[in-house]
Amino acid sequence: MDLSVDGARVYAATGGRSFDPDLPVIVFLHGAGLDHTVWALPARYFAHRDRSVLAVDLPGHGRSEGAPLTSIEAMADWVVRLLDEAALETAALVGHSMGALVALDCAGRHGGRVRAAALMGAAPKMPVHPDLLAAAEADDPLAFELMTSWGFGPSGHYGGARLPGAWMMGGGERLLQRVRPGVLHADLAACNAYQGAMEAAAKVACPLLMIMGTHDKMTPARAGTKLVAAVDGARQVTIPACGHMMLAEKPDESLDALRTIL
């Protein structure tokens, strides 16, 4: 499905079903350097169970046009304009990593537009290692290697994909290799600079779920619990033996967690 936001074409996958704005809508927001394809399983699952789905490519990512947005706040404001273009009063937001910060900021500053939020792999601060930032700025493939090495937990490093012959680390690198020059650095710099998570969390009034992996090196679970504590009534699900790339490492467990709020 194509939309137009700020005069640029935006692509959103709809989970294999026609988009129906009269159904409860879920907007999926991907992480740094990624695109809508990371949401293939949950998008299709909910689209076939009386929900409408928009798994978007953020500006400059995947099939969407435009330049990448350079701050988490700008991305959150963009989500509101996306809802306006789709003629939606409210939607549930699901975000992973950078997308989780976007969902949190949107729920905190635009609360009337967000009916529920699920944050996967998030923390109050998401500093990015200087070596990774430098490699991304230089469009050096080392950035892809560092992200997959730090992002995947044991199942990604040592095998464990349910599909025979699948290689999660290689698949992760290949997905990142599709990113346009400059986009990954813009995303990582936005995560690195964002300081508003706790302030946004204090303003969240909708139901919120935090999904964390026990072996997440990029956003450790102990940091994620601080966000849970800051949101009244928030819940958390911790996935055992799982790193930051939970959608690839533990797809069924991730889906089961999302079902508790969506």
List pLDDT tens digits, range 41-59: 999 999 999 999 999 999 9
Q: Residue 28 in contact with residue 58, Cβ under 8 Å?
A: no
Q: Residue 75 in contact with residue 9, Cβ under 8 Å?
A: no
* pLDDT at res. 158: 76
- Higher per-residue pLDDT: 163 or 107: 107
Q: Amino acid letter at 114? A: V
Q: Return d(Cα 25, Cα 46) in angstroms, integer.
A: 10
Name the average pLDDT for the chain.
Answer: 95
pLDDT tier for residue 101 given thresholds of 50, 70 and 90: very high
Set out the domains of the chain in order of their start, with CATH numbers: 2-259 (3.40.50.1820)
- pLDDT of 211 > 70? The answer is yes
* pLDDT at res. 170: 87
pLDDT tier for residue 161 given thresholds of 50, 70 and 90: low
- pLDDT of 181 > 90? The answer is yes
Q: State pLDDT tens for residues 236-251.
A: 999 999 999 999 999 9
What is residue 125's DSSP assignment? Answer: -
Segment 164-190 mean pLDDT: 90
Q: What is the pTM of this model?
A: 0.96
pLDDT tier for residue 167 given thresholds of 50, 70 and 90: confident
Segment 52-68 mean pLDDT: 98
Tokens of 146: 């560092």
Annotate 211-257 with three-state secondary structure: EEECCCCCCCHHHHHHHHHHCCCCEEEEECCCCCCHHHHCHHHHHHH
Q: State pLDDT tens for residues 119-156.
A: 999 999 999 999 999 999 999 999 999 999 999 998 77
